[in-house]
Structure formats: structure tokens, C-alpha cells
Structure 1
Amino acid sequence: MTKARVWVGLLLLWMVPTSEAATERSSVVILGKVAGHQQVESLPDGRIKVHFEYNDRGRGPSLDTVYQVGANGTVTSAESQGVDYLKAAVQERYTAQGTSHAWKNSAEDEQREVPGPVFYLGLHAPPEETVLLVRAALRAPGQRLALLPSGEVQVSAVATQTLKGKSSSRKVRLYALSGVDLEPSYVWLDEDQRFFASGSSWSMTLREGFENTQELLLQHQEAEQGRLAQARAKQLTTKLDRPLAITHARVFDPGTLEVAEDQTVLVAQGRITAVGLSAKLPVPPGARTLDAQGRFLMPGLWDMHAHISRGPDGVIAIAAGVTTVRDLANDEKALTGLITDIEAGRDIGPRVIKAGFMDGRSPYSGPTKVFVDDEAEARTAIDHYAAHGFEQIKVYSSIKPELVPVIASLAHAKGLRVSGHVPAFMTARQFVEAGADEIQHINFLALNFLFDKVQDTRTPARFIAVGENAATLELGSPAVRDFIALLRDRKVVVDPTVSIFDDMFHNQPGHWHEGVSALLNRVPPTWQRWMRSGSGGLPDVPKRPELYRDSFLRLVEFVGLLHRSGVRIVAGTDNVSGLVLPRELELYVAAGIPPKEVLRIATLGNAEVMKRDKEFGRVLPGYTADLILIEGDPTLLMSDVRKVRHVIRGDRLYESAAVFRSVGIVP
């Protein structure tokens, strides 16, 4: 018998269910803070009862799920009830009888005949479901298993580790699941094939009593992710170790808003060295040539509101032509490691500008390890951020209003900008008057005029109040005009992230906003299903869809009014940059901003805010060669910004289609 067969045999013995009831509890840890739990009870009759909940700033699911598992490890019935992340009701049921499979949830009501083993993925499911999936897949031929509603998963063991918790030790094994997400996802099981841990540096669910092992678990996960990332980067990155000539391009310069025909752009050592008519500018001997064939060449895009993590985020950004992101909240250690790997060529990703995140202590604190409740804590945090390469401070909703001017003064003394959510019990006007340089999210501007309705904005009230009231906000009123004048006169920047309200104010079970249509057929089946489900909408959208739609349109109008009034807008997504930034830019056009000006906002304008406009954001000699080649003309049709064909990020060249395909996305 081969070693492989012995190993599979041992796994099968490992997976035999016990006749005794067993209960495990796991903690949900968000950036070092326990925010919830999962409790799993395995009953003698084969049923598995799961309760899963966590609190993330007043958001977070609360689910009760009961599974019945068949002899082959697949689920024969599952029933869930509770609420999802945004507190919308969840009621889901799945049953299997022979080859017949039926399921019903808020967005789906289907029945299907499937002859062989298959595993149903819940639309809303606790982490425990991944354990059941791994067990079932390990029993299947080749450790591959078909999925319902669609797709296939393959499971493989990656690493083994013995961990010491507070009162005991456990031997655990890391499994990689391929086919469920854009790249392999990971779960840790103990020696009894029960759930031990899953997640990332941002949020992790792990066995109660072993919370102290998170860093070690992440080291193993990130080592595996790093191995895959390095192989991908080596395969897909063309290092420009000799000059590059991009010939016969239509070149858009955001500095002049002009498009020059039939241009050649020369690049050497990561910088643009010359730009001129192709007929007159010779290609240097030995240079690599990229014939643009009349395609549209422009500077790389910037996403000014990102939370980039290890995995597909940076890959998707580069594939879509996003060459710079500003990260507005992250785990410092994880972000630093990711930036180091990207810059060393061990991973694919954009340039990253770091903003230091802080919040006050409260039941609704944001996901951070940096809490500031007095001047001494503020000074310590700001000194640290200034000394470690951060360029601005982002405050969050639980910061005490009286601390904002202190934070602003301390940050400005260190040369750092100050931005953020408008803290609870404070208006946007007061935030600006206290010294803020920038406001994140357009809803906080609307809330400036809804202070009589909501003051505590630490919870989803900051979304719901806007959805219910923004439709009647008079943008031409003296109060709005006076507030806009204050923003303009103080040179306050607005980061609208209006596309996130596209989801919140439109999506409902089985219905999704039109911006999703551009992505549906490009992403893997599991992502398509999630998008088609209409997830991400606020709970009351189905009751009053017209009101929420009108409120969304008023927010879009507000963005256009800000721009026309001389208030600087920066383009950010608070989402997956490479997938959502085009929609953000389309919404700016819908707000009445001319396409050329929108492209300027997303390139040179963003660079100006971060004081990098002498190096980035133009197609001129001496500028960094962050360039994208596009099929079409986004100065005429903004949706063409999705048709990126090549990306130059300094001294690295990428073919967009190949990079997208590496994470399972159709170009």
C-alpha cells in the first residue's frame, strides 16, 4: 500500500463521527478584540447545531443553523434562521432525498436532480459549514466535490502544527479549499476533524482558549499564501530591465485634459523619459516595443479608500489598472508585510499609501488595536504613525468630539493630514471647524442636516437615517450652500465612496443594482450567486425601495454639486478596488461631472491631495511610469475604463487578461 493510500485511510478513520455529544465554542476575534462566538453541538443522532454571532460596530450576523449529515459526509438537510451582517432576516432551508436537492432562502427557491455526491453551500452560513465541506470533500475521489448551486471544490492538507492554549494543547491541520473563492481559502481542523480556526489578520474565528495562537496560525497561512503569490508574480510580471517604447497610442494627460493622437511614450528604469509623435520620436535600439495600435493610454488609476489585504486584492487592482491605493485602516503588521512583498516583487499589487487608524473605546469601536480616549493616548498614537511612514490619521465614530481638535493639532504638527468618519454626537460642520482635512463617505455630509434625527452614528443608524431622509434633502437650500462654502473655503476634501450606497440602498433579496451587471459574468460561480442574491442591502429596502432609491440619487447629486462648487473630490471605493472603482467613476459621471474631469480626479487629482503630483498622475517626461492601456475611450464612455489591456507599474509590465484569469476572473 502506498503512503498516499495509508494517509487517506487514516483520514477516513479520523472522520468517523463519535456516538457522544460534543460541544465546542470558538471566539470571533476582530483585530485582537473578542467580538462574538460560534458554538457547535454535535448530537448522537448525527445532527449538528450551530449558533454564530458577532458584533462589528452594531453590525454582524446572528445565525442558528441545524445540519444533518449523511453517510458520505455531505449534508442531507440544513436549516438556518436569524439575521445577516446588516441585520436583514435570514430564513434558509435545504433538503436532499436521493438525487433530488431542494433549497429555499430569501433569494432562491430551486430544486435540482444531481446523480452523484454534492455539497450545498448555504447563502448565509457559519464557519462550521466549512468543516463539513472539508470532511465531505476528503471522502470524495481526488478530494474533489461538486457544489450546489454550482462549482466544485478541491481540498488539500497543507500544514500540521501542535499548539498550546491556555490550559491544553492541540494538534491541528491546515486545509486549503480551491474553487470556492478567487484563490484558495483556509481552515484549521483539530485531530478529531472539528473546527479549530479560520480567517485572516483582520478577523479570525478560533477555538476558545486558543486565542493566543492566532499569530502562529496566520504565519502558516501567510507562508502558503506567499508561496502561491510568489509563483504567480514570477509568472505574470515582466520586469522592464531595458527601455520600453509604447508606440501609436492615444495619450490622455490629466494635466491638460487633452488626448494626443499617435504618440510614442518611452519608459526606462520605471520613469517616462520622452513623449512625442510616433513619426518623430525614434525607438531606442534594443528597446522593448509595445504597439498600442491606437488604444487609449493614460496614467494608472488611484483608489483613495482601500483596505488592502494579502490575497487577491492587489492582484485585482493591478489587473484593473489601479496602480496606487490609499489604505485607510488595516492591521499595521500585516499591511507592512504585504507592502514589503509587493515592492520586492514577491507579490502583485499597487503602491500603498498608509493612513493610521484610531477610535475611542465603546461597544461600537471600529476594527483597530489603537484606541484613543485622551490627549496622552492621541500623542502616543500619532507619534508612532508619523515615525512609521503613515501620511495621515483617520479617526472613527467613537472618538470623543472634544478630542478632535487635539488630534488635528498633534497630527498637523507632524505633517499628517486628518480625515475620517464624523465622530458620533458631532456634526460634519463641527468636524471641519475642529481641524479635519477630509471627510470619508458622502452619508456623513447628509447627516450634517439630520442631526435632529440621529446623533449617535456609531451604528448602522448612520446609513438608515440617510436612506430614510436624504431624498427630501434640499441641496439648493441656504444651509447646504453655506456648508459647501465652508468645505470649499477650508479646502476640505470629500471621499464620497458613493458606490457603497449603491449596494446598501438598492439591493434586496433576489434584486441587485445595475452596477453589478458589469461584473456578474466575470466572477466565479460562488461570487455570481452572492451578487444575484441581492445581499448587502439595508433591511428596510424591500419595504420602501423607491424611497431608498431616491435617497441614493440625492447622494449622487450631492457629489456633483460639491464638484461644481469647487470642493475637491477624491475617488475611493471602500471595496475591492479593481472591481468597484469603475462603478464609482461611472457614478461621478452620472452626477454630472464630465468624463475627462472624472479621470483627472482618479489620477492627478488624487496625487495632488497626497502631494505626489510632481511624480504621479501625468504622462510627461520625468514622471513615474504608472500607465494603463485601454481598449476604447473613457473620455467618451466611462465604462471603457474596465477594458484595461496592459498595465505598467514603474518597471513592471502586466497583461491585464492574464492577471485577471490568475484569480478566476474573466477579463
Structure 2
Amino acid sequence: MSCSPENNSPVSVTSSIPKVEVYSVLYGGTKVGSTKVTIDGNDLAIDHEVNNNGRGAKSKGTLTLNDQGVPLAWTIEGVTTFGNAVDEHFSVNEGTASWKAAAGEGSASFDGATAYVSQDGSPYAAYIYVNALLNDDDMTMPMLPSGTLSLNKLDELALTGNGETIDATVYALSGPNLNPAYLAVDTEQKLIAFMSPRFALLREGFEEEDTRLRDLAAALNAARFEDIASRVTHQYESPVRIRNVRVFDPVELKLTEPSSVVVSGGKIVAVEAADAQGSVDEVSIDGAGGSLVPGLYEMHGHMSDNDALLNVMAGVTSVRDTGNEMDVLEALIEKIDNNTLIGPRITKSGFIEGVSEFSNSTGELAETEEQAVQLVRDYAARGGYFQIKIYSSVKGEWVPAMAAEAHKLGMRVSGHIPAFSNADQMIEAGYDEITHINQVMLGWVLDLEEDTRTLYRITGMRRFAGLDLSSDKVQKTINAMV
């Protein structure tokens, strides 16, 4: 439910935020970066840096707020997670707001109570909107370029950090993204945490609350998606006839005339004339002359409860999950299977990563070849994992033993190319599949000592320009694959 703070008068930025705030960025419980906010009156400087698995956003932002906390000027410069340049600007001049970001530019009239939502701001940007909304009577506000910001109070709890226990309120911020963002603020309206099931931005000194807050975010997420499922899911025991739809004819390479498609027991059992008579117990759905396609298959995904719903909404009914946490993925599949959540059929891959400064925070980690082989056995013993997925910090020399064990246990072997290795070596070691075409091609343009756990795996692709696909090194790899 929505509620207003006890004191509805504007809270100035100067009085509600200390001169310097430092936050830890954690992903899956591992610290991967930091955010530092320096305040001088209503002017803020935000330095944000993340290095997770050799990649991460880095930005410096300057921000001026009015006394309600609404942005009047905002600049952000830096790089995105994958190294693209960020040069974003927002300003207000004589009642007109103007902005320019990677997604485009625009302008609109500005009344002082409309919040610009940045495209490439740090997670701290969400708190900027929360602070402004807490100073608003009904905690809603128009946003630029378009849409509406809103804030709902969800919970109250006590959090411990820096040797003290403080009272906090958890809010859900809606508007900037498809799903709400969850934030905790203290009694002085200062940010303590921005949290999601996998990610957290935590006030320095409160890192031990990471698991608790991420679990809370996961529970809030789950409750939201379970509520959606309970309201919109239909279970039909009878056949379902979808009338007045066109289907694609792969022989004629065109859409058919209007037809009826009958589904029963989870399968398409008939495609009939539009006016065909069905059985008396059928459920009839009018397709309104639209095009009907079978469910799509996503060959490379990383599922969560929100991704599961969005895939189904986009027509994707089957997904190969190619890297996830065991407990997250298995619990998600169970909820989809028992209709608690909406989601596609999910095929599981067992994610195995080596230990290094660039380790991915997802999946199971191995420090030795013996541990890596044991993880292969562990995935096989759990059941339902059709393959293992090897990641970049696994040592290339471990792969023959891992692949042999996986094949012995009836599982395929897929993955990135481990750092300081190439595709030819991994194919020989037992790979059945290489995920991402750049992982195949980088071995043709990078030297083995160039570390693909870093952004080299992205930036190195610029060397593909002028690559001779008929060269011996390219043909050697292709011949090994086929």
C-alpha cells in the first residue's frame, strides 16, 4: 500500500545527507565495486566503479537538486558494463528541461516537480528518486523522458552496521524499469541499501546485512510474481481451440488463410479450417485474425523469476539456462512446474568457474582440477543437468579430465574458452559446444597471453576487421568443429 511520510514538508538535501557517503557494491555476496557520493549543499558528485568478472560500469556524475530533491542538472561520463562510452547530460533552463543520452535526446517543459530518470546512472540514482518522492505528498511524480515514478512502503526492520542498530524502512520504487527497485532508508531519509536478489549497494559498514537484504528482495520479488501468476494463469483440462488465426507454412513460405489450431495435453494436435466444428467440451479462444506461432526456444538464457515471466510474454516457452546458481534455478523450475510462477520449460546447465580475481559470481567455484571434476559429479548426481558449462577462469589444462567425466556421466560439455587457451585446444579437450561466436573467433586474433577474463573478450573483437576466413588458422578450427 502507498503511504506518505509523517513529515510532508520538503527535506533539503543539505540536511538529509552527510558530506560524504561510501557504499559497497556486492554481487552474489562478493564485493565487486564501490560508490562514493560527495555532497556540497544541493550539489552531488557520484563516483561509481564495478569490476565483476572482468567487466563493469565506471562513471563520474555531477548532480544539482532543488530543495525537494528533484534533479535540475545532471552529467554522467564513463563507460557501460561492456565498455561503451557514456556521455549523458540533463539541464533545466528557463522552464525547459533538455537531455541527451545514448538512447536519444529531447526536451520538455519543466515545473520543478518532474524527475529526469538517467539512462546510465549508478544504482545510487534510484535513491535520488526515492528521496524526491518521500518529499512529495502522494509519493508519485511524473518522470522524464516519460512515465510516472511512484513509491510504496513495504516493510520496517532494524539493521546493524558500524557498531549500531538503526531503524529502516523498505520501499518499492516503480517507474524506471519493468520491475520495482527495492531500497532501505533510515529515519533521517538517508540511503542504507539498494537490493535485488543477486545485487546490493550497501552503506559502508552494513555489508553483513547483504544476505538478509537480498533474501528480502527475493521474497518481495517472488510474492509479486506469484500474485501475477495467481491472477492471470488459466488451467484448462479440456482441449483449447484457437480460432481465426493465420499460421506460417514453411513449405510455401507464407501465412495461411485463417485457421483453427487445437492444443491438448501441452501439444498442438490439429490445424483445421477456421469454421471447423470442435467438440462440445473445448475451450474456444478468438485469435482475432492474428498470426499464431509455436512457442519459441531461447538457446542461451540465465533465468530468474522476472526473466521467466518476460520470456513467456514474448512467446518464448523453452529456455536453455546456461549458467545459474543451483538453488536459484532448481527452486525456480519447481515453482514453474507447480504453476506458482509463470515461466518457460527450462533445461539446466551446470555452471563451473575457476577461482581468480576475475571469477564470475554465479555458479560453483573450483580451485583445483580435482574440485572441478567433483563438481561435474555433483551436477550429475543432482539430476536434470544435461551439460556442464565451463567458464573463463577454469584452467584449460583441467578440461580434458572434466570433459571425460561429464561424457562418462552422460552430460555434454559447453562453455567459454578458458583464459590463455583457444578454441582448437578446447575442441580437442572434449568440448561439444562453444558458447558465443566471439569465444571461437578470439583465438584467431588474440595472442594466448592476452587475458580474455577481461574486456579483451569484447574489445578484442575489433581485430576481426579484415580477418581472412579462408586462412589456415580459421579453417583449422572450422574443420575441427565439423
Structure 1 pair 123/322, CA: closer, same or farther in 2 (3 Å)?
closer
Q: Aligned equivalents of 1:366 and 1:219: distance in 2?
A: 20
Q: Does 1:62 align with 2:58?
A: yes
Q: Aligned equivalents of 1:487 and 1:182: distance in 2?
A: 40
Instruction: Spell out the pairing of 1:478-489 with structure 2 (5 A cutoff).
Output: 478-488=472-482
Structure 1 residue 304, shift from structure 2 partner: 1.0
Q: Helix, strand or coil for the counterpart of 2:424? A: helix
Aligned amino acid, residue 437 of structure 1:
D
| 8 Å CA contact 1:427, 1:451 repeated in 2 | no
Structure 1 pair 255/194, CA: closer, same or farther in 2 (3 Å)?
farther
Q: Helix, strand or coil for the counterpart of 2:53? A: coil
Instruction: Spell out the pairing of 1:266-665 with structure 2 (5 A cutoff).
Output: 266-272=262-268, 274-275=269-270, 277-278=272-273, 283-290=278-285, 297-311=292-306, 313-388=307-382, 389-452=384-447, 455-467=450-462, 469-488=463-482
Q: Aligned equivalents of 1:126 and 1:42: distance in 2?
A: 16
Structure 1 pair 112/228, CA: closer, same or farther in 2 (3 Å)?
same
Structure 1 pair 275/143, CA: closer, same or farther in 2 (3 Å)?
same
Structure 1: segments with no counterpart, 5+ residues: 489-667
Q: Aligned equivalents of 2:30 and 2:457: distance in 1?
A: 23
Q: Aligned equivalents of 1:130 and 1:194: distance in 2?
A: 12
Q: Helix, strand or coil for the counterpart of 1:334? A: helix
Structure 1 pair 126/479, CA: closer, same or farther in 2 (3 Å)?
closer
Structure richer in strand, relative to its length? 2
Deviates more, 1:450-459 or 1:346-355: 450-459
Q: Partner residue of 2:214?
A: 218
Matching residue within 168, 173, 178 for 1:177: 173
Q: Aligned equivalents of 2:245 and 2:330: distance in 1?
A: 36
Aligned amino acid, residue 242 of structure 1:
S
| 8 Å CA contact 1:454, 1:461 repeated in 2 | no
Q: Partner residue of 2:27?
A: 30
Structure 1 residue 123, shift from structure 2 partner: 3.1
Structure 1 pair 287/458, CA: closer, same or farther in 2 (3 Å)?
same
Instruction: Spell out the pairing of 1:197-216 with structure 2 (5 A cutoff).
Output: 197-216=193-212
Cα RMSD after superposing both structures:
3.3
| 8 Å CA contact 1:397, 1:423 repeated in 2 | yes
Aligned amino acid, residue 429 of structure 2:
A
Aligned amino acid, residue 23 of structure 2:
S
Structure 1 residue 306, shift from structure 2 partner: 0.5
Structure richer in helix, relative to its length? 1
Structure 1 pair 245/41, CA: closer, same or farther in 2 (3 Å)?
same
| 8 Å CA contact 1:454, 1:465 repeated in 2 | no
How many residue pairs end up in the alignment? 481
Q: Partner residue of 2:37?
A: 40
Deviates more, 1:355-364 or 1:476-485: 476-485
Identity, % of aligned pairs? 32
Q: Aligned equivalents of 2:473 and 2:339: distance in 1?
A: 51
Q: Partner residue of 1:156?
A: 152
Structure 2: segments with no counterpart, 5+ residues: none
Q: Aligned equivalents of 2:399 and 2:251: distance in 1?
A: 35
Structure 1 residue 439, shift from structure 2 partner: 0.4
Q: Aligned equivalents of 1:120 and 1:142: distance in 2?
A: 18
Q: Partner residue of 1:119?
A: 115
| 8 Å CA contact 2:195, 2:213 repeated in 1 | no
The alignment's TM-score, normalised by the length of structure 1, stands at 0.65
Q: Aligned equivalents of 1:5 and 1:199: distance in 2?
A: 20
Deviates more, 1:477-486 or 1:376-385: 477-486
Structure 1 residue 460, shift from structure 2 partner: 1.6
Aligned amino acid, residue 270 of structure 1:
G
| 8 Å CA contact 1:159, 1:220 repeated in 2 | no
Q: Aligned equivalents of 2:443 and 2:86: distance in 1?
A: 33
Deviates more, 1:156-165 or 1:294-303: 294-303
Aligned amino acid, residue 156 of structure 1:
N
Q: Aligned equivalents of 1:115 and 1:276: distance in 2?
A: 57
The alignment's TM-score, normalised by the length of structure 2, stands at 0.88
Q: Helix, strand or coil for the counterpart of 1:123? A: coil
Structure 1 pair 129/479, CA: closer, same or farther in 2 (3 Å)?
closer
Aligned amino acid, residue 402 of structure 2:
I
